[in-house]
Amino acid sequence: MMKALRKGQTMVEYIIIVCLIAVSLIAVFTYLSRAIGKKAAGAAGALSEEEGDKAKSAAESISEDSLKQLGED
């Protein structure tokens, strides 16, 4: 009978350890997801600004070329 009680106690200890690890991992992933989300948003913002600048300069050069061609015709 004593061996059966000891086996149950060991199982409960393992369950408690697994729960503590799970809670710790959830906390770490929550913290990291916020940090990674901020980094990803910053990178996306920088890329969109860069692409916007490229598109604007391309549109300006097309407009200038078009105006030159219209003036020549």
Residue 30, pLDDT score: 87
**What per-residue confidence (pLDDT) applies to 38?**
82
Q: For residue 21, which amino acid is it?
A: I
- For residue 59, give the amino acid letter: A
pLDDT at 41: 81
Higher pLDDT, 62 or 15: 15
Q: What are the structural domain ranges in the chain?
A: 35-73
Q: For residue 37, give every residue at least 6 positions away whose Cβ sits within 8 Å of its Cβ, in sequence order, or none.
A: none
Tell me how far apart the alpha carbons of residues 43 and 39 are, in angstroms, rounded to a whole number: 6
Whether pTM > 0.95 for this model: the answer is no
For tokens 């200038």, name the residue. Answer: 64
Question: What pLDDT is stored for residue 34 in this prediction?
Answer: 81
pLDDT in tens, 18-69: 999 999 999 998 888 888 888 878 777 777 776 666 666 666 665 555 556 6
